[in-house]
Structure 1
Amino acid sequence: MITGWHWQGRGQGEGDWPASLDELAAGARRVELARAELAGADKWEPLLQGHRGEARAGFVPLAQLAQFRRGIATGANGFFLLNAQKVADLGIDPARCLPCVGRATAVRGLIWRGGGDGLLLNLSDPLTPPEAAYVAQGEADGLPSRYILAHRRPWYAMEQRAVAPIWGAVFARGALRFIHNAAGWSSLTCFHGIYPFSDDPLLHQALVLCLNCDSVRAASRLHGRVYGGGLNKFEPNDLKGLMVPDLRLADRALLEEMAAHLALLDAAPEDEARRRKADELAEEAASRG
């Protein structure tokens, strides 16, 4: 057996860390773990917090409801992600661009309805004269030699991604944040794309509500990688094991109620009464399983 200690102040300032092993033993959770259990675990954090993957009735891994891909990697954000004024100044047709979010901080709340003027160049041959001039400028700046762009043919061809109905933030302090992409925008690598197997928009909204419930948010902390200051980073594979209600078994009326409540929670994400109601709806959905 291996003895582990989980210090609850992890991610705080240096003054919050134990000054000695005795202080660690007194203030931390002690966990006895078999060597084989540690060796077989992808991450130790859930084990140290006492979570051993017990299944809850009515809950399934998110991987049973959706698949995941990272956002678009441009290779040169400053060149490819422009605003409407810059596109106009260059003489490029906006139809040759995709509406796109480049920073997670640009998205407030839990529903993205569009806003701002982020435009992602989505060029293809043949180029118009203004497009060719802009590409020549990029070549003069040495962009084709950058690692990502050097592997593309042609170098200015944008990586293709289907629009994701749901986004999951890559970085978070604490729990992961999930967004319903109601506007149908593309996103860069600030968000991972979540693609439900169902094409039902109501299920998408209900799933976003569940993913932002307090119980699921708390569990999401166990799936990321923790950096200094308590910053969590989530990879697409980290999302697969999140346990969510099996919404495939929920009836239409419940999905409609959950979708309506997502709009209420979006308007006031920290409202305690609305958060409690979201948890209740998630539990009701799980009970249908």
Structure 2
Amino acid sequence: MKLPLVVGVDGSGSSLEAVDWAVDEAARLGLPLRIVHASLWERYETRVPSFATGRPAEEVMADTIVAAGAERARLRRRDLDVTAGVVNEDAVSALLHAAREASALVTGSRGRGGVAGMLLGSVSLTVAARAVCPVIVVRGEKRNRQGGYGRVVVGVADPTQSSAAVRFALREAEARGCDLDAVRAWRRPAHEHVDHPLIVDDAAGVREEHALALLTDALAEAVREHPGTDVNRRTVEGPAHHVLQEASTHADLLVVGARRRHGHLGLQLGRVAHALLHHAACPVAVVPQRS
């Protein structure tokens, strides 16, 4: 039995964009879609006056939000297996619990309660930092969200920290019928100052060659599993979050890894993934790597 693709909804425009993205993704991968809305209305049911009739307003709102999300999904893709439900938990807990039985989890970049000026909602950020399955935060312009560039980008760190992200990215590229751009950033040490320009160029060349070797090593096994997908390898000098943010401007999906340490309950995201969730120009997939 295939695990469903789960998408969280809260009635915001951002979450409806996430539904659209999740419908297309589920159809590409042949997965069922599960729509989840978190609501704690039952905790306040006792506040309804004893003389009141009908259902509590909070319950009606929760049911309306999830029903609207399900209807939107079915209208977009009538042949898709769609289920939907309200979960009596806070949003973070509901999505983290749903992630345990999901192939991946999809969220919008901002919720209904988003604070003006914030680039990413706290729910999406927390879920991306703690979920046991890949989390896709749907952000960026319409062309990026709808696959207008035909390009998937994966940021590659060390081979031991990137295998899950690379496999996820290759699966995405294969399902979309597009190339995969595998990018590794490299930098010169801040203290590397020499007088002769030829020595500087030689040192930079050595570092770039080392970055390419690590990139090739990180891709080797996963590429063999997807022989029909073309992989473009790129090494770029500069801070990783700047390099990948630039790459995201002409991409449909940006994939990055995030280490998950066993037994650690705090946020486990990493500086690069954190920055990209706030600033990338396209949807970002954060893929957990167990260590």
For normalisation by structure 1, the TM-score amounts to: 0.20
* Bigger Cα Rg: 1
Which one has more relative contact order, counting CA pairs under 8 Å at least 6 apart? Answer: 1
* Structure with the larger helix share: 2
For normalisation by structure 2, the TM-score amounts to: 0.20
